[in-house]
Copies of this chain bind each other. A is one copy, B any other.
């Protein structure tokens, strides 16, 4: 206890601060979580992942679906692959990608639900 923490930061509610800091996840978990959110923080990658929600697609179809160049898609997929968010299945010279992270799928489902719901509550935005 009584960790000085190196920072000369004033504190108002010391008890709350201590309690919140105790529950704060480890730095590594926070970084991992932030990274996952970061993967979803790009409209292009979001389009790719939403496209994969219903099943696997090959790279060229993902390009068609997302409107991105095939190179951009390949770079994006490499990033997603590196984080085990998608998985590739090769068949001949084609590569079929699919979602491979249940947590990310939940986040995507939640996002879709939110978008659809906001189309109800904010119909002025139109389709």
Chain A interfacial positions (CB closer than 8 Å to B): 5, 7, 9-13, 16-17, 19-21, 23-31, 33-35, 37-38, 40-43, 46-47, 50-51, 54-55, 57-58, 60-61, 63-65, 67, 70, 94, 103, 106-107, 110-112, 114-115, 118-119, 125-127
Contacts and interface: CB of A to CB of B under 8 A. Distances in A.
A24 B9 CA distance: 47
Contact of A54 (B20, B46, B58): B20
Given A12-B60, A38-B41, A41-B34, A25 B65 contact: no
Contact of A46 (B17, B30, B58): B30
Contacts of A46: 30, 33-34, 37
